[in-house]
Each structure stands twice: as structure tokens, then as C-alpha cells.
């Protein structure tokens, strides 16, 4: 059992943790970044094979080091992972990997104690930069009512279309992950994408129009649609050009939100008024569910 003291402990070596480390280093303040993963960037490496950022490289760099791609390129997830790893090395940030904090407690005398198995780190300041990746997947309650013949991988388990069985695919959740996956799966599997319509950016990515529109969209997202809020509202989490194309892709149908039906024969039904073609009993019997 070991105990160590550090002025600032940063939990998480993602974008937020590394940026915080960079700024503390610039100020000459001691810090330690700890992360439960084996390598910086592993959260990105574990995503599906074809994932690319929806933010251009010029908006995806961290302080002090631009993303090493053309500013309007959309980095692949492995490029993001390598960029983060190189960033930590380049700025010689003090990072300890394979170190998952089990417990963080305030000390009566001030500061915090972080527990890692049998070891502890005490600190004057703790920065929790643990992000949103790899949290407990959200599985709708009706998932448990589906027949065992329906595979239900969560998007965090999805890597490529070859993982799925032949037959129809029902993608539940139409935000970034769900729409990306539906787009990728639709050419090989008849696919239905379900979820609320959260709007579209009205220009396609990788076009001059997108480049011209992006600063305006970013401004609207940061300063207009978020006015009076401390985090982006629903309207700002709009879909990208990929989503726009996705809706038009042959083999891909859209539904609104799903709700559970009654009995094993009709485990899921689309909302009233929505097209029923791919969500009827036959469709569901052959479906695979990605949440």
C-alpha cells in the first residue's frame, strides 16, 4: 500500500484532462494525470472501425498543438487517439495510465483522497475529467422483452457491419452514434433508424458550403441556441451532413421514437402514424437492435 501527495490530481487523460495538464504545466504547477486505460486515446481506439470526427481538424486540436491534418479534414478515430497520445508525450505531461480511481473523498482538513485499490493519492485540488465515454450504456426497458433470437449489441460494442447477422437491423437512437451506424449498415442490411428527429445541419460536410457555414453554425451553437443555458440544449445537438445523406440512403427507413408493445409477437411498435413496413412482427423477428 502506497500513499502519494500531489498538488493537483487530474482524473482522466482525455481532451479535458490533457488540456488541464497543459495549462498547469504552463503555470509551472505540479500535477498528475491518471487514467484507467492502458494507453492515452484508448477510448477512441475502441470505437467502431470507420468512425471519423464530425468536427473538422481545425476545431479539434488541443491548446498548443493543432491537429496534424488539413484543417478541413475529418480525423479518423485512430488519428484522434494517436494525436492525444502524441500530445501527452510532446508536452511531457505527467500521465499515469492503468490507474483507475475507485473513490474520491473530501478530507476534513481540506483537499481530497483518491483511492486506487490498496493505494491512495492525496491532493489539494482534484479535477474530474472522466468524460462521458464508457459510462453505463442506456438500454431501454423494453429491450428485456424482446425475443432471445434478436441480438441486441449496444453501440459501444459495435465495430463493423460484419458483426451483425443477415437480416433486418433496427437502430434505436438517432443521434451521432445511431445515425452513423445506420448509415454504415444500410448498404448491407435493410435498416430502420428510430429516434426523435433532432434536426439537420443544412449543408453537406466536406463541401465549400459547409466550410463557409461552419463558423456560423458553431457561433449559433455556442452563443445563440445556448443563451441562458450552462450546456448545449437539444437544438444544438443537431445532426451533421452524414445524417442528412443517411435519411436519403436506399435501404434505410426512418421512424420516430419506439415504445414497447404487448406480448412476444409484437415486442416493439412504431408510434401511431409512422410507417410500419420494417417494424411489424416479421421485421422485429429478424431485427437486431443497436442502442
Smallest distance, Å, CB 105 to ligand FAD? Answer: 13
**Contact by Cβ (8 Å): 245, 204:** yes
Give yes or no for a contact between 17 and 35, defined as CB atoms under 8 angstroms apart.
yes
Among 4, 8, 16, 78, binds ligand FAD (CB under 6 A): 16
The yes or no reply on residue 9 touching ligand FAD (CB under 6 A) is: no
Q: Report the nearest approach of ligand FAD to the CB of residue 243 (Å).
A: 13
Among 72, 91, 112, 133, binds ligand FAD (CB under 6 A): 133
Q: Give the span between the Cα atoms of 38 and 251, in whole angstroms.
A: 39
Helices and strands (H and E) in the chain: how many: 7, 12
Q: Which part of the chain contacts ligand FAD (CB under 6 A), choosing from 36-44, 204-212, 222-230, 249-257?
A: 36-44
Letters for 182-221 (x = contact with ligand FAD by CB under 6 A, - = none) are ----------------------------------------
Residue 236 has which C-alpha cell?
444544438
Could you tell me which of 184, 125, 189, 134 has the C-alpha nearest to residue 157?
134
The Cα 165–Cα 36 span in angstroms is 33
Query: How many whole angstroms separate alpha carbon 38 and alpha carbon 242?
Result: 32
79 binds ligand FAD (CB under 6 A): no
Q: Is 43 in the site for ligand FAD (CB under 6 A)?
A: yes
Contact status, residue 175 vs residue 237, Cβ threshold 8 Å:
yes
Pick 130 or 261: Cβ nearer ligand FAD:
130
Is 11 a binding residue for ligand FAD by CB under 6 A? The answer is yes
Whose Cβ is closer to ligand FAD: residue 165's or residue 234's?
Answer: 234
Report the residue number, 126 or 186, with the smaller CB distance to ligand FAD. Answer: 126
The nearest distance, CB 34 to ligand FAD, in angstroms, is 5
DSSP 286: T
Considering only residues 34, 127, 150, 186, which one is a binding residue for ligand FAD as defined by CB under 6 A?
34
Contact between 112 and ligand FAD per CB under 6 A? no
Span near ligand FAD by CB under 6 A; candidates 21-29, 48-56, 191-199, 208-216:
48-56
**Residues in Cβ contact with 216 at an 8 Å cutoff, skipping those fewer than 6 apart:** none
Binding mask 137-176 for ligand FAD (x = CB under 6 A): ---------------------------------------x
Beta-carbon contacts of residue 80 (< 8 Å; ≥ 6 apart): 41, 44, 53, 60
The CA distances from residue 71 to 64, 189, 215, 216, 240, in Å, are 15, 34, 13, 17, 18
Residues binding ligand FAD (CB under 6 A): 11-17, 34-37, 43, 47, 51, 53-55, 100-101, 129-133, 176-177
Amino acid at each position: 500500500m502506497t500513499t502519494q501527495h500531489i498538488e493537483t490530481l487530474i482524473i482522466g487523460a482525455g481532451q479535458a484532462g490533457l488540456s488541464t495538464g497543459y495549462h498547469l504545466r504552463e503555470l509551472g504547477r505540479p500535477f498528475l494525470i491518471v487514467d484507467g486505460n492502458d494507453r492515452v486515446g484508448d477510448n477512441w481506439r475502441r470505437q467502431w472501425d470507420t468512425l471519423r470526427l464530425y468536427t473538422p481538424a481545425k476545431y479539434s486540436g488541443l491548446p498548443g498543438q493543432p491537429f496534424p491534418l488539413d484543417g478541413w479534414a475529418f480525423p479518423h478515430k485512430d488519428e484522434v487517439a494517436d494525436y492525444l497520445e502524441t500530445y501527452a508525450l510532446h508536452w511531457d505531461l505527467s500521465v499515469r495510465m492503468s490507474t483507475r480511481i475507485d473513490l474520491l473523498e473530501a478530507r476534513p482538513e481540506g483537499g481530497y483522497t483518491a483511492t486506487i485499490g490498496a493505494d491512495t493519492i492525496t491532493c489539494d485540488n482534484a479535477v474530474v475529467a472522466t468524460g462521458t465515454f464508457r459510462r453505463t450504456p442506456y438500454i431501454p426497458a423494453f429491450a428485456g422483452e424482446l425475443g432471445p433470437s434478436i441480438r441486441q449489441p449496444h453501440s459501444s460494442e459495435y465495430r463493423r457491419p460484419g458483426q451483425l447477422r443477415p437480416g433486418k437491423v433496427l437502430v434505436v437512437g438517432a443521434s451521432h452514434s445511431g445515425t452513423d451506424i445506420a448509415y454504415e449498415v444500410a448498404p448491407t442490411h435493410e435498416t430502420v433508424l428510430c429516434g426523435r428527429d433532432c434536426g439537420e445541419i443544412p449543408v453537406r460536410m466536406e463541401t465549400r458550403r459547409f466550410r463557409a457555414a461552419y463558423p456560423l453554425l458553431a457561433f449559433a451553437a455556442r452563443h445563440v441556441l445556448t443563451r441562458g443555458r450552462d450546456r448545449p440544449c437539444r437544438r444544438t445537438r443537431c445532426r451533421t451532413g452524414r445524417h442528412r445523406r443517411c435519411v436519403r440512403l436506399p435501404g434505410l427507413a426512418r421512424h420516430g421514437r419506439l415504445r414497447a408493445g404487448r406480448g412476444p409477437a409484437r415486442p416493439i411498435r412504431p408510434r401511431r402514424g409512422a410507417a410500419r413496413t420494417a417494424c411489424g412482427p416479421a421485421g422485429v423477428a429478424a431485427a437486431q437492435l443497436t442502442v
